[in-house]
């Protein structure tokens, strides 16, 4: 596994993660019930992969528990944020997570923040804001704060998952995160029992297997070779890909500002990856 292959895996993850919007629209359930079901299915997929690798039991230690708590907390806070503020506000504020990745790397790992990394983070965030500018609003203070907290937890999760000692430990942390997310949704099964139809069952299976399960397997492999900032920035492609699926399947075409914002994000990330690859070639480091 090379870093270039890891970045390709992360881009594929972002594309698969972004299909959530299209398939969630097909399920008339409470949002936390949807989140719980798809996380339970995703956890089963990860467990099967671990079993196939000859390690059926996940690792339970400080690192995997912290990863799991951060990932599970991110999911719960993001759902809450969507209920307390606009969806666009929630996405844009959660997309601030690369800023916190830089801060955590500087404070916790003593890494120097380079001008290039700061510029890339600023430009990518500008692109995301432009993409959603038509739907942004002042929103509720509580909802915006919750969305920002989800960005903090997501950044922490990226740091914990990238520092795991082995692939088994990385997958274990992600699996525990999905188990926590599933547990969060369990009480709502009794408060608002879901109505099972062929469409809702098919959609929830797609979400669990292809929108979360398989992408998080790829994510676990990529996290072994990609630094936290790369994981965070490539993940910013998710909100850019999402409207593409909506345009294809629903017919809603993004406006000119959204297209410009998406172009800025994609071009900036491509240039950043190219610069990193060239720097690695010049220093003889593996790419």
Q: How far is CA 253 from the centre of its chain?
A: 24
Question: Could you tell me which of 126, 158, 133 has the C-alpha nearest to residue 255?
Answer: 133
Instruction: Name the average pLDDT for the chain.
Output: 85
Q: What is the pLDDT of residues 2-57, one digit of tens each?
A: 888 999 999 999 999 888 878 888 888 888 888 889 999 999 999 999 998 887 78
Residue whose tokens read 């240039």: 271
**Could you tell me where the DSSP H helices lie in the chain?**
3-17, 20-24, 31-52, 62-84, 87-94, 97-108, 115-132, 141-162, 167-191, 198-206, 214-223, 228-234, 237-249, 256-283
Q: What is the pLDDT of residues 65-111, one digit of tens each?
A: 999 999 988 888 887 887 777 777 788 888 888 889 988 888 877 77
93 vs 257: CA distance, rounded Å: 18
pLDDT of res. 198: 94
Which backbone phi and psi does 286 adopt, to 5 degrees? -65, 140
Q: Which positions ≥6 away from 163 have C-beta within 8 Å?
A: 63
Structure confidence at residue 281 as a pLDDT band (50, 70, 90): low
């Amino acid at each position: 596994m090379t870093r270039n292959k890891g970045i390709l895996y992360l881009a594929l993850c972002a594309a698969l993660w972004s299909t959530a919007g299209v398939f969630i629209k097909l399920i008339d359930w409470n949002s936390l019930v949807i989140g719980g079901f798809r996380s339970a299915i995703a956890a089963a997929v990860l467990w099967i992969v671990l079993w196939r690798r000859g390690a059926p039991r996940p690792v339970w230690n400080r690192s995997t528990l912290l990863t799991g708590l951060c990932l599970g907390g991110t999911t719960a806070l993001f759902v809450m944020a969507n209920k307390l503020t606009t969806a666009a506000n929630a996405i844009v504020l959660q997309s601030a997570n690369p800023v916190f990745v830089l801060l955590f790397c500087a404070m916790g790992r003593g890494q120097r923040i380079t001008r290039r990394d700061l510029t890339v983070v600023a430009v990518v965030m500008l692109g995301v804001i432009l993409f959603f500018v038509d739907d942004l609003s002042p929103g509720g203070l509580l909802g915006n704060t919750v969305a920002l907290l989800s960005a903090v937890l997501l950044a922490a999760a990226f740091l914990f998952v990238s520092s795991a000692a082995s692939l088994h430990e990385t997958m274990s942390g992600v699996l525990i995160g999905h188990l926590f997310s599933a547990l969060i949704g369990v009480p709502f099964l009794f408060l608002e029992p879901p109505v099972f139809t062929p469409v809702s069952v098919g959609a929830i299976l797609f979400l669990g297997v292809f929108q979360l399960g398989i992408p998080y397997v790829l994510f676990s492999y990529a996290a072994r070779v990609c630094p936290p900032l790369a994981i965070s920035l490539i993940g910013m492609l998710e909100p850019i890909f999402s409207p593409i699926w909506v345009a294809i399947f629903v017919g809603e075409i993004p406006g000119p500002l959204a297209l410009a914002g998406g172009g800025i994000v994609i071009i900036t990330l491509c240039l950043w990856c190219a610069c990193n690859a060239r720097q690695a070639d010049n220093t003889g480091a593996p790419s």
